[in-house]
């Protein structure tokens, strides 16, 4: 029996730039599945982004949160995902979660809340906006 959704629309962006290995992607995906599974959103949009959104996946409640595995090996611009959301979604997501090693531009905060999950030592990259969580148990 599925519990009712606790959150509206959650966007999860995965950095698939050249610095991300298949092994790291597996770890990222399992982390997201746990976190997002616990939050139980109505809808989850997954974006795989390097310098552009290369692939998307939508999971709607009550489907299980099972995320595809995909890596691209391009450059990095995580803000491209914000642009994608602004162009493709009718309304702002409840939250935008971005998992990245942090080697990206930070120019302008979007109109919705952002949580950065940065893989690396605490403080090695400090985004100027949003909430930052450091995940460095994956090395």
> For residue 107, what are the contacts with CB-CB under 8 A and spacing of at least 6?
79
Highest mean pLDDT among 29-38, 88-97, 127-136: 88-97
pTM, 2 dp: 0.90
109-130: pLDDT as tens digits: 999 999 999 988 888 899 999 9
Cα 93 from Cα 88, distance rounded (Å): 11
Is the bond preceding 6 in cis, omega lying within 30 degrees of 0?
no
Distance between CA atoms of residues 79 and 106, nearest Å: 7
Calpha distance 66→32 (Å, rounded) = 10
The answer for residues whose C-beta is within 8 angstroms of residue 135's C-beta and 6 or more apart is 31, 99, 117, 118, 119
Q: What is the mean pLDDT of residues 67-88?
A: 90
Please check whether residue 46 is in contact with residue 59, taking contact to mean a CB–CB distance below 8 angstroms: yes
Higher pLDDT, 121 or 58: 58
Whether the predicted pLDDT of 32 surpasses 80: yes
pLDDT value for 19 = 79
Residue 127 pLDDT: 96
> What pLDDT score was predicted for residue 137?
56
What's the Cα-to-Cα distance from 58 to each of 15, 47, 102, 114, rounded to whole Å? 17, 9, 24, 19
Whether 22 has a pLDDT exceeding 90, the answer reads no
pLDDT value at position 139? 47
Positive or negative: CA dihedral 55, 45, 97, 139: negative
Average pLDDT over the chain, rounded to an integer: 89
Separation CA 81–CA 71 (nearest Å): 16
Closest CA to 88 of 124, 127, 131, 47: 47
| pLDDT over 70, % of the chain | 96
Question: What local confidence, expressed as pLDDT, does residue 34 receive?
Answer: 83
More confident of the two residues 57 and 24: 57
């Amino acid at each position: 029996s599925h519990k009712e959704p606790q959150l509206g629309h959650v966007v999860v962006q995965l950095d698939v730039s050249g610095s991300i290995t298949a092994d790291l992607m597996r770890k990222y995906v399992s982390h997201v599945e746990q976190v997002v599974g616990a939050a139980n959103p109505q809808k989850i949009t997954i974006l795989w982004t390097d310098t552009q959104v290369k692939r998307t996946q939508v999971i709607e409640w009550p489907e299980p949160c099972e995320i595809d595995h995909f890596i691209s090996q391009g450059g990095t611009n995580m803000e491209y995902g914000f642009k994608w959301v602004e162009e493709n979604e009718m309304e702002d997501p409840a939250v935008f979660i971005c998992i990245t090693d942090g080697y990206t531009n930070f120019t302008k905060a979007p109109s919705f809340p952002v949580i950065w999950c940065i893989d690396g030592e605490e403080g090695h990259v400090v985004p100027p906006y949003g909430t930052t969580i450091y995940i460095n148990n994956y090395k």
